[in-house]
A and B are shown apart, each in its own frame.
Chain A
């Protein structure tokens, strides 16, 4: 039973969260200039590292998407931060 910190709500149970995507997947645009391979890479590829990872998560109860840095093996949570552009 893991516990993740929502940058706004504070620590909550894993059941309140939904994994969205690994961080750093910039959407390639415009569509007309994006190759099939580049689009597939954006859509589907994941590093799935064994160790530290940075991911976008959704806190289901408040609806906030945020960045979570954690270890996929030890399950230690290192940091959680709002998406860029959120006033502190």
Chain B
């Protein structure tokens, strides 16, 4: 017996997890930027029309900002913001964030129940921040028409997909089985 031999490979990023009530797929997002400071002013100059969304909220348009903190958000836009990175005169800090977050779509009637398996408590209701602890990591959760989107740091993507596939494990999702 010696050191752990790390030969297990990361799960492919395009792996699909499917259960009778839920599908998990990787989804491409638009351009990501981290924006801090005066968020209202920031959105006006960086992505006019983009709405700010909180936990499990579904954006109306293609451009939107996912609120992380009181003065910080992840801006997701279809084209890169037309400003240089760094400090903006409007009192806003801007960092292009490439794929700072990888986006997993959980869709189907069992999506929220699957999400709840990674939380230490029932999902919050009406939280202005989309950030929360999932499976021991800080992730962002936004809404989607048929479930939710889970935004996780790319280095942990393999762990998160591994976690989700062990949870679903071919067994029916909890909604279908328990009552």
| A contact set with B: CB distance below 8 Å | 1, 3, 6, 8-13, 15-16, 60-64, 82, 86
Contact = CB atoms under 8 A, between A and B. Distances in A.
B121 A3 contact: yes
B132 interface: yes
B127 A9 contact: yes
Interface string B117-154: 00111001011110111000010000000000000000
Contacts of A3: 121
A2 to B, nearest CB: 10
Interface in B74-126: 119-121, 124, 126
Nearest to A17: B133
Contact of A60 (B72, B128, B133): B133
A11 to B, nearest CB: 7
B121 A13 contact: yes
B133 A15 contact: yes
B121 A62 contact: no
A11 B127 CA distance: 8
Contacts of B120: 1, 13, 15
B128 A9 contact: yes
Summarize B's interface: helix, strand, loop or mixed.
loop
B124 A86 contact: no
Interface residues of B, number: 16
Contact of B68 (A1, A62, A82, A86): A62
A63 B127 CA distance: 15
B166 interface: no
A6 B166 CA distance: 32
Nearest to A7: B70
Given A60-B138, A61-B131, A62-B131, A10 B126 contact: yes
A54 B10 CA distance: 45
Contacts of B126: 10
19 contacts: A1-B121, A8-B69, A8-B129, A9-B128, A10-B128, A12-B124, A12-B132, A13-B120, A13-B133, A16-B133, A60-B133, A60-B138, A61-B68, A61-B132, A61-B138, A62-B68, A62-B70, A62-B131, A64-B69
Contacts of B68: 61-63
Given A61-B68, A61-B131, A62-B72, 8 more contacts: A1-B121, A8-B69, A12-B121, A12-B127, A13-B120, A13-B121, A60-B133, A61-B138
Contact of A10 (B72, B127, B138): B127
